[in-house]
Amino acid sequence: MTYSSSSQHDASDVQDPKVVRILDPVDIQGLTQFTENGVMRGIGSAVISARWNFVARVRVPGVTFRSNVMASIAELFQNPEDGGAFSKPDIGPAHMYVRAVAPKRDEVWVSGYIDWERNLPVRVSVFIGF
């Protein structure tokens, strides 16, 4: 496999399912932090657009290599209750899964795969133990 950053994509990368696309960083949304048994935890999500092999970089202030992180992904569909925005997570016809999750300094990297011919809107949910 080869790796390509989002800013380096060319026409051949977009058509090649073997290329792992490292997506531009996105900010976590709706971050809820709480303390349980003396341990700081957080839950939030980010929206990406991806297909085939990807690495999503989710900015999460306070995350370090010592943080425990988990992630899930879900396809987003139009939500009539939200003005038709792609904000309703559900299971669609595309096969998708998370391969690996790694904490970095102020980021969580989520490696995944979406078996679809075009980019899909996807919610990446992140669970953190700081």
pLDDT in tens, 17-66: 789 999 999 999 999 998 888 888 999 999 999 999 999 999 999 999 99
- Name the E strands within 23-106: 26-27, 29-36, 39-50, 52-59, 68-79, 85-90, 95-104
**Contact (Cβ atoms closer than 8 angstroms) between residue 20 and residue 1:** yes
Q: Is residue 1 part of a domain?
A: no
Q: Is residue 109 part of a domain?
A: yes
Please give the residue range of the domain that contains residue 81: 26-129
Residue bearing the bigger pLDDT, 5 or 92: 92
pLDDT bracket for residue 10 (50, 70, 90): very low
- At 8 the pLDDT is 47
Domains held by the chain: number: 1
Q: Is residue 103 part of a domain?
A: yes
Confidence (pTM): 0.86
Average pLDDT over residues 99-126: 97
Q: Give the mean pLDDT of the chain.
A: 90
Q: Is residue 16 part of a domain?
A: no
Q: Is residue 12 part of a domain?
A: no
